[in-house]
Structure 1
Amino acid sequence: MVKVIYSSLFLILFLIFLLPYFLKVKEVSCFISDRDCPSEIASQLEGLKGKPYFKTRGEVDKILKGNSLVFSYNSRFIFPSKLILNIILRKSSYVLKNTKSNSFYLISEKGEVLARRDNLSDISFLETDAYDFKVGDKVPEDVLMSMSLFYYLNYLYKINYAKLFDDRLEVKMLAGPILVLPKEGKDREYLVGASRFLLSQLEENYEKFKVDKSYDNITIDLRYKNPILR
């Protein structure tokens, strides 16, 4: 009876402490809300295949905690060789496209570059050839303010395109004027309010402004104390 008890205890201890050293991971499945993981995460996790389970736990932690896209995760091992990872990603608030490299950057509300994409569809984005970033970078405050301003205007109006330069943000309204906005020095609420006022005044009283251009070719420059129409 005693031998049976000791044998059982030994088996339990073996299963708890030693078995993970002998079990190898042959399959890694990664999911995000029932979708497959982004390719940049999945490719890193592929390197875990064939390694002992005890070793993969530390490597998974290193890979996912070091990825700016990942907010949190949990893992589950299915005997004898399958590792399942469920991941929650950080939410991106803005998309910035570099027109030179044709790269799209997903950026958080706080300005952290979460990911880089070569292709995106059916999404609003701000163009630039003046800035380029790496994943993990923090964008400058003036760039963050410009992105926030663009997305707010895009919510209110139909926008044809928007581009960020070294010294200004340009927003072309669909069948309407071009807005030239400062990158810093004035807050978003002021610029949105001034834009809405001037656009409504132009649309309702276009002839009173005596501008020798069609409505959709007018430029409204809000970088100055008194806005300039040209």
Structure 2
Amino acid sequence: MTTELWQTIQAEAKYFSAAEPNLASFFHGAILHHADFSASLSFILAQKLDSLHLPAILVRQVIEEVLSQSPEILMAVKKDIFACVERDPACSHHLMPLLYFKGFHALQAYRIAHALWNDKRRALALFFQNQISQTFCVDIHPAAKLGTGIMIDHATGVVIGETAVVGDDVSLLHGVTLGGSGYAKGDRHPKIGSGVLISAGAKLLGNICIGQGAKIAAGSVVLSDVAAHTTVAGVPATVVGKPKSESPAREMNHSMSDDD
């Protein structure tokens, strides 16, 4: 499936390169020059995470090493691209997340940092976290556990703490915080079930559980558990209904009026 996705992305790049000759070198350098999807991804992320202390050529070496040792990351990346295409009405082509969406870029760079963290290369993982934060305005601790098929839409201001867990097929918008509460160490961040939709500016604080298929309204402050397939809103958040969809993250319907 990754091969099929890569062929689709290459075909799209050729089309756009011909349609806009001024960007031909851009599409060639980012996509058409590369032998496979992994090479293109590592090049794009390395260019964006380039720094004085760890230049792009070394960043790319690290990324390629991680991808060669953890091929499951590429399957997660593929699912994240499909999530963007399926859920974001502004995403009309598969190459768009790969080239343009900083939420996607931050998520994939996090996946590299997470693998480094698990491999006990924690200084490098934290360096990646810092670069991700400075470059994309998204702060994901490399120890956090994120599933696949995730879309971080717009992404600016998203914060995900060290002990947070995010399930599969979750959608987050800009300004979302999965944060701790107080100064205590240990397990202190939210656990998000699969299919959850967390709208813009929502703050989920503490070691709380958000059940599968739940929906968190924009601007809500969530301080306690939310049952599966439940809609909450407000400050502090209270139950206001149930989503019509089993997976609100896929529907991306932020309206409260459609809920029971």
TM-score (norm 2): 0.27
TM-score (norm 1): 0.30
Counting helix residues as a fraction of each chain, which structure ranks higher? 2
Counting strand residues as a fraction of each chain, which structure ranks higher? 1
**Structure having the higher Rg:** 1
